[in-house]
Amino acid sequence: MKDLAGGVAVVTGAAGGIGNALARRFAERGMKVVLADIGEEALGEAEEVLRAGGAEVLGVVTDVSEAESVEALARQAVQHFGRVHVVCNNAGVGGADGSPAWALP
Protein backbone atom coordinates (compact mmCIF):
# COMPACT_ATOMS: atom_id res chain seq x y z
CA MET A 1 0.00 0.00 0.00
CA LYS A 2 2.14 2.86 -1.27
CA ASP A 3 -0.51 5.57 -1.09
CA LEU A 4 -1.73 5.66 2.50
CA ALA A 5 -4.19 8.54 2.04
CA GLY A 6 -7.74 7.48 2.79
CA GLY A 7 -6.66 4.24 4.45
CA VAL A 8 -7.33 3.30 8.06
CA ALA A 9 -4.62 2.59 10.63
CA VAL A 10 -5.13 1.07 14.08
CA VAL A 11 -2.35 1.78 16.58
CA THR A 12 -2.20 0.27 20.08
CA GLY A 13 -0.31 2.13 22.76
CA ALA A 14 -1.21 5.28 20.83
CA ALA A 15 -1.54 7.73 23.73
CA GLY A 16 2.20 8.24 24.03
CA GLY A 17 5.69 7.38 22.90
CA ILE A 18 6.27 5.36 19.75
CA GLY A 19 2.56 4.56 19.35
CA ASN A 20 1.65 8.23 19.35
CA ALA A 21 4.43 9.03 16.89
CA LEU A 22 3.14 6.28 14.57
CA ALA A 23 -0.42 7.59 14.83
CA ARG A 24 0.69 11.15 14.06
CA ARG A 25 2.70 9.99 11.05
CA PHE A 26 -0.25 8.00 9.67
CA ALA A 27 -2.49 11.04 10.11
CA GLU A 28 0.06 13.26 8.36
CA ARG A 29 -0.05 10.83 5.41
CA GLY A 30 -3.84 11.26 5.20
CA MET A 31 -4.93 8.11 6.97
CA LYS A 32 -7.87 7.80 9.32
CA VAL A 33 -6.50 6.64 12.66
CA VAL A 34 -7.89 4.46 15.44
CA LEU A 35 -6.01 5.22 18.62
CA ALA A 36 -6.04 2.42 21.20
CA ASP A 37 -4.65 2.74 24.70
CA ILE A 38 -5.42 1.62 28.23
CA GLY A 39 -5.10 5.17 29.63
CA GLU A 40 -8.41 6.91 29.01
CA GLU A 41 -7.29 10.44 29.88
CA ALA A 42 -4.08 10.31 27.83
CA LEU A 43 -5.99 8.68 24.97
CA GLY A 44 -8.51 11.53 24.95
CA GLU A 45 -5.72 14.09 24.86
CA ALA A 46 -3.98 12.33 21.96
CA GLU A 47 -7.28 12.11 20.12
CA GLU A 48 -7.90 15.85 20.58
CA VAL A 49 -4.43 16.76 19.28
CA LEU A 50 -4.81 14.70 16.10
CA ARG A 51 -8.35 15.92 15.51
CA ALA A 52 -7.22 19.55 15.94
CA GLY A 53 -4.69 18.88 13.17
CA GLY A 54 -7.49 17.79 10.85
CA ALA A 55 -7.24 14.02 11.20
CA GLU A 56 -10.20 11.67 11.29
CA VAL A 57 -9.69 9.87 14.58
CA LEU A 58 -11.40 7.32 16.80
CA GLY A 59 -10.09 6.69 20.30
CA VAL A 60 -10.86 3.32 21.88
CA VAL A 61 -9.86 2.43 25.43
CA THR A 62 -8.19 -0.96 25.01
CA ASP A 63 -6.37 -3.39 27.29
CA VAL A 64 -4.28 -5.52 24.93
CA SER A 65 -3.77 -8.11 27.66
CA GLU A 66 -7.49 -8.95 27.40
CA ALA A 67 -8.67 -10.74 24.23
CA GLU A 68 -12.21 -9.38 24.61
CA SER A 69 -10.89 -5.83 24.71
CA VAL A 70 -8.86 -6.34 21.53
CA GLU A 71 -11.85 -7.93 19.80
CA ALA A 72 -13.97 -4.91 20.82
CA LEU A 73 -11.27 -2.62 19.34
CA ALA A 74 -11.45 -4.48 16.03
CA ARG A 75 -15.26 -4.29 15.95
CA GLN A 76 -15.32 -0.58 16.74
CA ALA A 77 -12.65 0.22 14.14
CA VAL A 78 -14.57 -1.57 11.38
CA GLN A 79 -17.95 -0.22 12.50
CA HIS A 80 -16.61 3.35 12.51
CA PHE A 81 -14.43 3.37 9.39
CA GLY A 82 -15.66 0.32 7.45
CA ARG A 83 -12.28 -1.38 7.10
CA VAL A 84 -8.69 -1.45 8.37
CA HIS A 85 -5.54 -1.33 6.24
CA VAL A 86 -2.71 -1.16 8.80
CA VAL A 87 -2.44 -2.49 12.35
CA CYS A 88 0.47 -1.50 14.59
CA ASN A 89 0.45 -3.62 17.72
CA ASN A 90 2.73 -1.31 19.64
CA ALA A 91 1.30 -1.55 23.18
CA GLY A 92 3.64 -3.15 25.67
CA VAL A 93 2.40 -5.76 28.07
CA GLY A 94 4.77 -6.59 30.89
CA GLY A 95 4.91 -9.61 33.13
CA ALA A 96 2.19 -10.10 35.71
CA ASP A 97 4.61 -9.18 38.49
CA GLY A 98 5.83 -6.02 36.75
CA SER A 99 9.19 -7.52 35.79
CA PRO A 100 11.10 -5.84 32.96
CA ALA A 101 10.85 -7.62 29.60
CA TRP A 102 14.50 -8.73 29.66
CA ALA A 103 13.91 -10.60 32.93
CA LEU A 104 10.93 -12.62 31.70
CA PRO A 105 11.43 -16.34 31.01
Cβ–Cβ under 8 Å, residues 14 and 36 = yes
In angstroms, rounded to a whole number, what is the distance separating the alpha carbons of residues 53 and 39?
21
Contact assessment for residue 6 and residue 31, using Cβ atoms and an 8 Å cutoff: yes
Cα separation, 98 vs 15, in Å, equals: 20
For the chain, list the domains and their CATH numbers.
8-91 (3.40.50.720)
**What pLDDT was estimated at residue 105?**
63
Say what the pLDDT of residue 93 is: 62
What is the mean pLDDT for each group of 10 consecutive residues in the chain (105 residues)?
Answer: 88 96 97 97 97 97 94 98 96 66 64
pLDDT of residue 46: 97
- Kindly report whether the global pTM for this prediction surpasses the value 0.75: yes
